[in-house]
């Protein structure tokens, strides 16, 4: 018999409040003052060449052996390194090329670079940067977590913090103190090939998850041995291209920019994030790297950002070659630096250095602007501790990719996976079931990881570790080879052995069809159609003819449309890009060793031309316009069930200087322990700017035992109902509001 117990959980709304300071602590004024004093001394000693050099960032390829620096095995070319560091005084080097080398190799590389920097006149250390967006990308054997979209799907801020923590440690163990992560672009354009680098469509979910991740990476003091400096990107509006293709124009007016796209950046800056990367594309016809308003007026002046703005890859030269807003490469450099870009990811030559030097000598760029940029860059070098400790800490290697990190990775992957359909409780499967495993993602680690894995595109399957299981191998491990038949059925976009897969389905108890996307990153991931490839949908239709229960497992970075086969599937598991432990985590869920608790961080569309976000306007909710996704934002099933009751508000009014507490009971009415994400939505009924029909205000993930009831409380203030008003500033208007939790709702009056 189930016992009934009641636990109370106070989910202070600090969990998700747009625009408030994050829990990571910004650097104290006193520390900043001391650092600035040291910088004053340095700046007085620096030549203009040394200053312009600090603003120059090149790729490691430029200082490595081989004509394109890509010779394998990788090695630094000492002559090229001296040219970069001693002749051009480069301030930073970044990694994109060498892949999968051991920690020791990276320590050696960073040591060589810092040795060279020591030989320079002023001995200023070089800042080494990397795109470790789901773990230490380019270091062999690192802990590679679910991609950010999966971290958002956990709705678990503690896990997100842990991911930041482990990532920081493993890149510092590789000698690297700076991470081009997190990506704070909102995922409100599902075609966009970088959707999976985002935390989904909701502003407050993105803030809550990135807040925790940044806190884990940066800690109280980013100069601590296992902490790093994050770089938030791509500021701002990059993720909302009108046509869905990467690096194509967005049209976002000031109100929309401030309502949706700026708040995650503002929150990160207020938490002390020291670097920001500019938008690689354009908004309203203004390239991100020429946007004085966003880079200087908003970021630096309005928010008081003290760190530096890095350009994205070749994006200063792109102002001339691609965007045609600068008539010459030199004008492009002037434009970007005067707009507020402090460092140029040039990254393949020294053109930026040469041109900027000329511009300063011609007084086309004032020295004061150069001094400002260099001060910002040196500040970050002090903050991250490389003036005092430029060399990698060898002792961290023993904490790199430990079994504990791997186990934690598996936990994160399990909590991200989202169960979207489960007719007649088909899942979990019995461990004595005979299964057919089929589909193009069944036996590929690259489809579980996606881009920024070992290589930029993440698609070189041969480079993946041999000791990590694909979905197929993890299923074989879980139930034994004898019960598993594997027929790929199709490649991603062409039939292979469909007939043989259907024949195998006839003798199986259940079909596990693993569909999705091959690994891609950035522009190469552009698509013309959000619909999943016809070959994969046809495979499911053919398999259905065997009349055996079908489980779809989707390994994909964006919601590829599957409407044609949703009715043919009995169960659907969305794995996103679950990382190196993804195979294990999927098998854990399929066979009941873990209970799913992931929730969708985006609306999963049903039709190609019905792409509507969950926080749509009333006009999008009426009649034929109705929000009708395949699966709504926040959705996700469990192997147990939860019942919501007794939603109550502490008051019927919310005074301007007061607060209101919403309390609800959530009971586990099933027979298995499970985790539920209690989601609090709100709306204002009438206001000057048409209100969204609902917006996520707060959430709390809670573990509940069978029969147990928990009481969850959220406290809101009027600030939670502010919005960007007619004058493009945040305002609060009085009026009737509603709160929703599960199927329940209650109203109150905002005074």
Binding site for ligand BGC (CB under 6 A): 94, 96, 131, 180, 233, 280, 312-313, 522
Distance (Å, whole) CA 489 – CA 42: 64
251 contacts: CB under 8 Å, gap ≥ 6: 242, 283, 284
User: What is the distance between the alpha carbons of residues 37 and 379, in angstroms, rounded to a whole number?
Assistant: 10
Burial class (CB in 10 A: 0-12, 13-18, 19+), 744: middle
**Complex with ligand BGC: residue 289 or 694, whichever CB lies closer:** 289
* CA-closest candidate to residue 585, choices 402, 328, 409: 409
Q: What are the structure tokens assigned to 114, written together?
A: 């810092």
Q: How far is the CB of 233 from ligand BGC (least distance, A)?
A: 5
Residue nearer to ligand BGC on the CB measure, 214 or 508: 214
To the nearest whole angstrom, how small is the minimum distance from the Cβ of residue 740 to ligand BGC?
36
Angle at 110 between CA 109 and CA 113, to 5 degrees: 90
Which is closer to ligand BGC, CB of 94 or CB of 359? 94
Q: Tell me the closest approach of the beta carbon of residue 125 to ligand BGC, in angstroms.
A: 20
What is the closest distance, in whole angstroms, from the C-beta atom of residue 450 to ligand BGC in the complex? 14
Q: What is the 3-state secondary structure (H, E, C) of 396-416?
A: HHHHCCCHHHHHHHHHHHHHH
To ligand BGC, the closest distance from the beta carbon of 516 in angstroms equals: 23
Q: How many CB atoms lie within 10 A of CB 120?
A: 17
- CA gyration radius, the chain: 26
Sheet order of strands, 695-704 included: 653-654, 744-750, 735-741, 674-684, 695-704
**3-state DSSP: the chain helix, strand, coil percent, rounded to 5?**
35, 20, 45
- Least CB distance from residue 566 to ligand BGC, whole Å? 33
| Per-position b or e across 291-305, b if 16+ CB within 10 A of its CB | beebbbebbbeebeb
| Distance in angstroms (rounded) separating the CA atoms of residues 629 and 563 | 10
CB of 353 to ligand BGC, least distance (A): 19
For ligand BGC, the closer of residues 280 and 418 by Cβ is: 280
Q: What's the CA gap between 220 and 225, in Å, rounded? A: 12
Contact 227, 218 (CB under 8 A): yes
CB nearer ligand BGC, residue 61 or residue 415: 61
Q: Which is nearer to ligand BGC, 316 or 479 (CB)?
A: 316
Interhelix angle for 351-361 vs 367-383, to 10°? Answer: 130
In the complex with ligand BGC, which residue's Cβ is closer, 157 or 318?
Answer: 318
Catalytic residue among 312, 342, 570, 615: 312
* C-alpha–C-alpha distance, residues 262 and 297, integer Å: 13
The residues facing 677 across adjacent strands are: 701
Q: Which residue lies nearer to ligand BGC by CB, 303 or 313? A: 313
Strands (E), 636-688: 642-649, 653-654, 660-668, 674-684
Nearer to ligand BGC, 131 or 342 (CB): 131
Q: What sign does the dihedral 319-325-329-330 (CA atoms) show?
A: negative
Rounded least distance, CB 110 to ligand BGC, Å: 17
Neighbouring residues of 678: CB distance < 8 A, sequence distance ≥ 6? 11, 664, 666, 699, 700, 701, 702, 712, 741, 742
> Using CA atoms, how far apart are residues 269 and 683, in angstroms rounded to an integer?
27
Which residue, 529, 484, 493, 492, is CA-closest to 511? 484
Q: H/E element holding 530?
A: none
Quote the least distance from Cβ 64 to ligand BGC, whole Å: 16
- Shortest Cβ distance from residue 96 to ligand BGC (Å)? 5
185 counts as catalytic: no
Residue closer to ligand BGC by CB (options 280, 700) is 280
Spatial CA neighbour of 740 closest among 682, 697, 701, 696: 682
Which residue lies nearer to ligand BGC by CB, 313 or 627? 313
Closer to ligand BGC by Cβ: residue 92 or 280: 280
CB 221, min distance to ligand BGC, A = 24
The nearest distance, CB 269 to ligand BGC, in angstroms, is 18
Cα 211 to Cα 216: distance, rounded to the nearest angstrom: 9
Nearer to ligand BGC, 129 or 488 (CB): 129
How far apart are CB 322 and ligand BGC at their closest, in Å? 13
Q: What angle do CA 395, 31, 276 make, to 5 degrees?
A: 75
List, in order, residues 6 or more apart from 513 with CB less than 8 Å away: 438, 439, 489, 539, 540, 543, 550, 551, 552, 553, 569
Nearest by Cα to 700 from 25, 158, 138, 66: 158
Matching residue, tokens 């880079």:
295
Catalytic residues: 312
């Amino acid at each position: 018999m189930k016992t009934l117990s009641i636990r109370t959980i106070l989910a202070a709304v600090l969990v998700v409040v747009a625009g408030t300071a994050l829990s990571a602590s910004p650097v104290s004024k006193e520390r900043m003052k001391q650092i600035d004093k040291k910088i004053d001394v340095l700046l007085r000693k620096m030549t203009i060449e040394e200053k312009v050099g600090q603003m120059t960032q090149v790729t490691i390829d430029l200082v490595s052996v081989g004509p394109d620096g890509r010779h394998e095995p990788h090695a630094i070319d000492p002559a090229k390194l001296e040219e970069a560091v001693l002749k051009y005084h480069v301030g930073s080097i970044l990694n994109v090329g060498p892949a999968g080398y051991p920690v020791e190799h990276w320590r050696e590389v960073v040591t060589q670079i810092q040795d060279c920097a020591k030989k320079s006149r002023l001995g200023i250390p070089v800042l080494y940067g990397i795109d470790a967006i789901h773990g230490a990308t380019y270091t062999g054997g690192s802990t590679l977590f679910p991609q950010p979209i999966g971290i958002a799907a956990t709705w678990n801020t503690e896990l997100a913090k842990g991911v930041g923590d482990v990532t920081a440690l493993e890149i510092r163990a590789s000698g690297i103190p700076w991470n081009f992560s997190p990506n704070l672009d909102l995922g409100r354009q599902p075609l966009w090939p970088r959707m999976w680098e985002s935390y989904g469509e909701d502003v407050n979910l993105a803030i809550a998850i990135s807040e925790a991740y940044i806190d884990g990476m940066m800690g109280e003091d980013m100069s601590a041995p296992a902490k790093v400096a994050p770089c938030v990107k791509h500021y701002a509006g990059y993720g909302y291209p009108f046509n869905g293709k990467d690096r194509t124009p967005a049209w976002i007016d000031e109100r929309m920019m401030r309502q949706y796209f700026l708040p995650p950046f503002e929150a990160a800056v207020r938490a002390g994030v020291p670097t920001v990367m500019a938008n690689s594309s354009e908004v309203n016809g203004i390239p991100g790297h020429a946007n004085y308003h966003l880079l200087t007026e908003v970021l630096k002046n309005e928010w008081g950002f003290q760190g530096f703005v890095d350009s994205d890859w070749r994006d200063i030269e792109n102002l001339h070659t691609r965007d045609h807003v600068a008539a010459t490469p030199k004008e492009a450099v002037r434009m970007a630096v005067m707009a507020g870009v402090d460092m140029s990811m040039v990254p393949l030559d020294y053109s930026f250095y040469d041109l900027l030097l000329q511009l300063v000598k011609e007084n086309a760029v004032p020295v004061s602007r150069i001094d400002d940029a260099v001060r910002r860059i040196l500040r970050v070098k002090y903050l991250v501790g490389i003036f005092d400790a430029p060399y990698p800490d060898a002792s961290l290697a023993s904490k790199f990719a430990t079994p504990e990190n791997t186990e934690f990775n598996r936990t994160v992957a399990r909590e991200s996976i989202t169960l979207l359909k489960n007719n007649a409780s088909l899942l979990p499967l019995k461990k004595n079931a005979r299964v057919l495993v089929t589909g193009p993602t069944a036996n590929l680690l690259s489809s579980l990881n996606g881009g920024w894995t070992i290589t930029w595109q993440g698609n070189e399957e041969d480079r993946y570790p041999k000791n990590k299981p694909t979905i197929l191998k993890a299923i074989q491990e879980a139930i034994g080879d004898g019960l598993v038949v594997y027929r790929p059925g199709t490649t991603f976009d062409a039939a292979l052995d469909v007939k043989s897969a259907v024949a195998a389905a006839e003798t199986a108890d259940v079909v596990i069809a693993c569909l999705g996307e091959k690994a891609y990153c950035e522009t190469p991931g552009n698509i013309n159609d959000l619909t999943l490839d016809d070959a994969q949908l046809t495979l499911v239709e053919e398999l259905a003819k065997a009349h055996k229960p079908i489980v779809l497992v989707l390994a994909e970075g964006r919601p590829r449309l599957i409407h044609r086969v949703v009715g043919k599937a009995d169960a659907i598991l969305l794995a996103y890009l679950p990382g190196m432990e993804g195979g294990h985590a999927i098998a854990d869920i399929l066979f009941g060793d873990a209970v799913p608790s992931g929730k969708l961080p985006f609306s999963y569309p049903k039709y190609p031309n019905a792409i509507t976000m969950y926080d749509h306007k009333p006009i999008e909710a009426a009649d034929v316009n109705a929000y009708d996704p395949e699966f709504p934002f926040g959705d996700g099933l469990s192997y147990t069930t939860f019942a919501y009751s007794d939603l109550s508000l502490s008051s019927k009014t919310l005074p301007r200087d007061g607060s209101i507490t919403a309390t609800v009971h959530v009971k586990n009415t099933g027979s298995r322990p499970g985790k539920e994400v209690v989601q609090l939505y709100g709306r204002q009924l009438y206001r000057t700017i048409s209100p969204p029909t609902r917006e996520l205000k707060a959430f709390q993930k809670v573990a509940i035992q069978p029969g147990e009831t928990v009481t969850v409380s959220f406290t809101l203030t009027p600030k939670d109902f502010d919005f960007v008003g007619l004058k493009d500033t945040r305002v609060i208007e009085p009026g009737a509001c509603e709160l929703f939790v599960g199927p329940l709702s209650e109203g109150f009056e905002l005074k």
